């Protein structure tokens, strides 16, 4: 699935392909599209009925990688959101 990450500060966009994800049902208080991460091993996207846990991802122009490798090279993940 293709999606766009948008930097909330600069409005820069990055096209992302999500290869592997898991739905975690439940309530949360985050705005839909918010990226939540521990900056080491986990990346979640808030959705209507829970969270989407991203496991494999491919940023535009890069190779497919697991989320841990992605987070090593992707700084300041808290400044990004999924563009609606």
Contacts of 54 (CB under 8 A, 6+ apart): 18, 20, 21, 43, 44, 45, 67
Tell me, what's the pLDDT at 45?
98
CATH number for 74: 3.10.25.10
* Total domain count, the chain: 1
Full-model pTM: 0.91
Tell me, what's the pLDDT at 75?
85
Which domain covers residue 70, as residue numbers? Answer: 2-82
Query: Which alpha helices (DSSP H) does 1-84 contain, by range?
Result: 67-73
Say how far apart CA 22 and CA 58 lie, in whole Å.
16
Mean pLDDT in residue range 64-73 = 97
Q: What is the pLDDT of residues 13-62, one digit of tens each?
A: 999 999 999 999 999 999 999 999 999 999 999 999 999 999 999 999 99
Tell me, what's the pLDDT at 14?
97
Tell me, what's the pLDDT at 84?
73
Query: Which tokens in the block code for residue 50?
Result: 């829970």
């Amino acid at each position: 699935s293709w999606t766009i990450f948008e930097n909330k500060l600069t409005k820069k966009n990055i096209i992302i392909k999500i290869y592997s994800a898991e739905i975690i049902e439940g309530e949360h208080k985050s705005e839909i599209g918010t990226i939540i991460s521990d900056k080491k091993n986990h990346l979640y996207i808030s959705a209507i009925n829970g969270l989407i846990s991203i496991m494999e991802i491919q940023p535009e122009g890069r190779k497919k990688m697991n989320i841990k490798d992605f987070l090593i090279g992707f700084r300041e993940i808290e400044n990004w959101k999924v563009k609606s």
